[in-house]
């Protein structure tokens, strides 16, 4: 969660700086290009107004085309152009039939009997160098900004991270402290029930059992999130582990009258944690088992698709609303409060499943429509 928050801050601030930087670079270079065009057009006009210009730059790059009875007489003083290039340029200008304009870096003034062309290649080269330099500066500043943003994001989320870690430690410590007295109460209650079973003792046994289950799940969740050794990943055969975890549910579904299909692609090799994957499969199938309607169907599939390993569990039962789908992976969130309490469900199973997927750098999502609910886990392969 903390890493996601950090990434979002970095992405948001980087996007803002990138957009602002692009706008600044585009605006500056657009204005420079516009000024370049105005300057070039002005110099072309001036070459006519002042027939003998003292500007050596214009004199060097000026091409004069005077119309005669036999055609055009061309005069130019550039060593970088040959006559064929000048003739092709003149033909394009005549075909365009505009008074002023430019073809690439050649600006012209067409007065029918007299055409003036000035080559502004040097100015254009200078502009493009300036453009490339401004882009380079922008890239350097942007990369430096990302580093600064990273430091800011880390500093910003540090109090949140500390509070989150304290919360995890608090839950872990409280769970550990409660586990022993709960176990003692449960043991003593069972001993008393052996001698004198009554309704009050049954209530105590029921509630301590519920409390023990809740504490166990809280401890599991804390271990997954805080203990790297508990969630160590190793290369192995994922197909075999999923099949092993799914096998006990064949008899469970048969007893409840459900149809059960398990389709596992063979020999999928990837890095994973055996215990956590077994727990993930158990959580999803147990969830399906408890929500499938009478004579319904449960389907588990494991397959590879586009460099992803996909674990899917479908069940036929009550649909989950769009609003509930957004919250279903939150801790202690239960769609049907009364039913879940009756079944000793605390809204932690899917939270644990999500934490397991985060350990494996994967995602879990839910789709529920037309009476079919599907939980989809995606692993990078």
Q: Please, are residues 302 and 268 in contact by the beta-carbon 8 Å criterion?
A: yes
Domain boundaries, the chain: 2-126, 231-380
What are 92's two structure tokens? 């394009």
Contact 186, 208 (CB under 8 A): yes
* Average per-residue pLDDT for the chain: 81
- CATH number for the region 231-380 comes to 3.30.565.10
Share of the chain above pLDDT 90, in %: 27
Interatomic CA distance for residues 54 and 41, integer angstroms:
18
What's the rounded mean pLDDT across residues 3-11? Answer: 83
Query: Which residues are paired to 235 by β-bridges?
Result: 271
The most confident of the ranges 198-202, 309-313, 337-341 is 309-313
Over 90: is that where the pLDDT of 27 sits?
yes
Read off the tokens for 100. Answer: 């002023």
Pairwise CA distance, residues 294 & 144, whole Å: 61
- Sign of the Cα torsion 297, 295, 213, 347 reads positive
Q: Is the pTM of this model over 0.75?
A: no
Residue range 263-287: average pLDDT? 91
Q: What confidence score (pLDDT) does residue 342 get?
A: 47
pLDDT, tens digit (0-9, with 9 covering 90-100), for 315-328 = 998 888 888 888 88
Asked if 288 contacts 361 with a C-beta cutoff of 8 angstroms, the reply is no
Q: Which residue has the higher pLDDT, 371 or 16?
A: 16
d(CA 213, CA 158) in angstroms, rounded, equals 33
Q: Where are the beta strands (DSSP E) in the chain?
A: 62-68, 71-76, 100-103, 106-110, 114-119, 234-237, 259-264, 269-272, 297-305, 308-316, 363-369, 372-380
pLDDT at 24: 93
CB atoms within 10 A of CB 381: 16
Q: What is the DSSP letter of 216?
A: H
Name the nearest CA neighbour of 29 among 40, 17, 21: 21
Mention every residue, 6+ apart, whose C-beta is less than 8 A from residue 213.
Answer: 344, 346
| pLDDT bucket at 298, cuts 50 / 70 / 90 | very high
- In this prediction, residue 40 carries a pLDDT of 78
Provide mean pLDDT across the span 135-158: 90
C-beta of residue 363 within 8 angstroms of C-beta of residue 357: yes
CA pair distance 116, 51, nearest whole angstrom: 10
């Amino acid at each position: 969660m903390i890493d996601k928050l950090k990434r979002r801050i970095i992405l948001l601030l980087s996007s803002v700086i990138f957009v602002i930087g692009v706008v600044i670079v585009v605006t500056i270079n657009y204005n420079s290009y516009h000024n370049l065009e105005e300057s070039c057009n002005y110099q072309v006009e001036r070459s006519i107004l002042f027939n003998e210009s003292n500007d050596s730059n214009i004199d060097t790059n000026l091409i004069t085309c005077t119309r005669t009875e036999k055609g055009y007489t061309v005069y130019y003083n550039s060593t970088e152009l040959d006559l064929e290039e000048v003739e092709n340029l003149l033909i394009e200008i005549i075909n365009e039939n505009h008074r002023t304009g430019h073809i690439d870096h050649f600006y012209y003034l067409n007065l029918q009997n007299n055409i003036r062309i000035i080559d502004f290649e040097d100015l254009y080269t200078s502009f493009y160098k300036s453009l490339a330099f401004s882009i380079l500066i922008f890239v350097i500043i942007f990369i430096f900004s990302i580093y600064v943003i990273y430091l800011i994001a880390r500093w910003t989320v540090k109090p949140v991270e500390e509070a989150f870690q304290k919360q995890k430690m608090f839950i872990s410590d409280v769970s550990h402290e409660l586990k022993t007295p709960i176990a003692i109460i449960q043991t003593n209650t069972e001993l008393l029930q052996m001698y004198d079973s009554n309704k009050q003792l049954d209530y105590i046994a029921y509630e301590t059992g519920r409390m023990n289950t809740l504490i166990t799940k809280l401890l599991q969740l804390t271990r997954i999130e805080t203990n790297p050794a508990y969630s160590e990943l190793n290369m192995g055969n994922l197909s075999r582990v999923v099949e092993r975890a799914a096998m006990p549910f064949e008899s469970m579904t048969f007893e409840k009258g459900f149809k059960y299909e398990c389709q596992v692609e063979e020999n999928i090799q990837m890095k994973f944690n055996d215990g956590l994957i077994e727990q993930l499969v158990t959580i999803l199938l147990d969830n399906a088992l408890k929500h499938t309607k009478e004579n319904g169907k449960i389907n588990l599939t494991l397959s590879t698709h586009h460099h992803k390993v996909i674990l899917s569990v479908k069940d036929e039962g009550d649909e989950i609303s769009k609003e509930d789908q957004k919250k279903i992976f939150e801790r202690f969130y239960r769609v049907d409060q009364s039913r879940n309490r009756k079944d000793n469900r605390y809204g932690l199973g899917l939270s644990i499943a999500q934490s397991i997927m985060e350990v494996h750098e994967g995602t879990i999502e839910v789709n529920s429509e037309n009476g079919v609910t599907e939980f989809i886990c995606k692993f990078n392969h």
